[in-house]
Chains A and B, each alone.
Chain A
Amino acid sequence: MRTHHMRLPVLAGALLILIAACSEPAPIFHESERPLRLSDWQLFDLSTEELTPSEASLVLHPSNQLFTDYAHKMRTLWIPQGLQAELVDEEIQYPVGTVISKTFYYPRNGQGQLVKVTDPGNEHIALGDHQLLETRLLVHRQNGWDAFPYVWNEEQTEAFLRVAGTSTSVSLQTENEDLDFMYFVPNENQCSGCHTTDHPDGEMKPLGIIASQLSSPISDARGDFGIQTSTILEKGWLNAQPADQGTISWRDESASLEDRALAYLNIHCAHCHNPEGAADTSGLFLDGSSDIDVSMGLCKPPVAAGGGAGDLQYSIVPSDPDHSILVYRMESSKPDEMMPELGRSLIHTEGVALIRQWISSMSGSC
């Protein structure tokens, strides 16, 4: 009897500890291995109802993001306790141990059909009316950033590392029609294909969770999220607020057409089309660093575009989007013609409309 009584409180204590460990795991930084399961990083709390970022993380909303077949994206940032990012030359230098995640998902309607709606910037994902596709991690390790694509299983109970990426067919309901397409999860090389902006010797780096995309007040169709670097600063993860006002959102209709077009081209093209990038072989630079001249495509003949040139003569013909290769390649969904080469199967109608409007507004001819 005596023993019996002694044991119950011990057992209860053990239970409590275990329950605590289950409900509030802290993220873990893996220094070298490639964990096979997303749960090994403990970045999320996954219940049957919801995927919720760890309380230790921040959910962030950059000004601009790459179009990925209308998938919604939830981004988190986690920096290990006691560490802090530093602002160096107006860029955020994250400490070793930083883990950035980006979860791609679609909302479902009442019938379970995936639907195209504007990403509202959710900070947790209800599993009842959303379908998780993948979670990509960028992890800052001793030798630089590493990328890991994790793909969710159908049951939405775990995401597995898919070094070689994968593809899955998606049917997306829009106002007018159902879009049936192949959704691609990039392989690790494709991750670095975009995230290595200084090709080939540079290192991978984040493209969204950077100073220029986080230090401008966001207020557009997605909602009002405030200045994201302030949020990081308040969390104690950043030593100073960037002095430069960041990039505007291309969706911000109060900004000028040209600024919006440049913001759009920057986020969709500049990771390759910059003077050090993988597409520097083309001599077409869309990072906004130069004037709007031949290097930005104005009356520029194609170099090695093949069919991607669409039988057209120049990248941009002022006032003539129909004869601009830039528009042709954005409106193509053929793998050898379309731009960007990665990240989409669908045509980004809203982005095309913006670039068409911008080119239409230019004066002159070739």
Chain B
Amino acid sequence: MKIDPSIRSQMILPNRLPAKNPLSKAIFYLLLSVFAVLFAMPLYVMIVTSLKSMDEIRMGHIFALPITPSFDAWDMAWNKAASGFDNTGLKSGFWNSVIILIPSLAMSVAFSSVCGYALACWNVKMGNFLLMALLVCAFIPFQVIMYPLIKMSVAVKLYNTSFGVSVVHTVLALPILTMIFKNYFASIPEELIKASRVDGGRFWGTFVYVVLPLSPNIMIVVAIMQITGIWNDFLVGLTFGNVKAYPMTVNLNNITQTQTGVRVYNVYMAAAMLTAIPPLLIYFFSGKMFIRGITAGALKG
């Protein structure tokens, strides 16, 4: 399907100026390589630090490869690290993140895709007004609505539960996702929707049999966006979760800020790696889909 304009623009061969001059080409490669090394450096340092012992770290050679690489710090971070509440490491946070992620992913995609479809393919009274309102909502900082949301979630007994965190994630994602879906569905040829109506397809029938089968790409883009976004969230998990429901990022932060005894940077870096691996895997395997997600998420807003 060539219905998505952003795909279409990528299919047209870009007419850019090739760097013909070999000298400028060499300079470009040199500069790009320098920056690539600088950008990759923190990840490299994270990995080598996580494989060292604290004795080795204290020698102060931050870029040196580990003399005797070991996964002790990873084991410590996953199973035993102290978070200020207990000594059970990151694994509980990992599962909390999964438990938070699944319902919020399902709810946000369900509500926003249906609403985006209605706005794009049907006459909805005040539809444009709603889109304007959603645009404003997408920009409102969380701090502005934080206190009332806490009060409301206390009132419905969702405060300090992982489902409460999921609901807040859903609320926060709806404006931007609705706009993304609306923009995508609006590019579906009008004739297809009309044809479905002639065949007797109503609102839901057209959605299920015509629109959804055309949308696997946008669904994947949105899913990638939501999974990485919710996984990496800290503030919502911190304010709406509790000791039993803190996501992995909050767990990680608690482990690194527990000021009892020495700061064990090998464990901290191992914990950071463990938290970073799921979104990094998605990033390295999804390629262009990830890029489309972050640009759509930012620009269509």
> Do A and B bind?
no
List residues of chain B with CB under 8 Å of any chain A CB: none
List residues of chain A with CB under 8 Å of any chain B CB: none
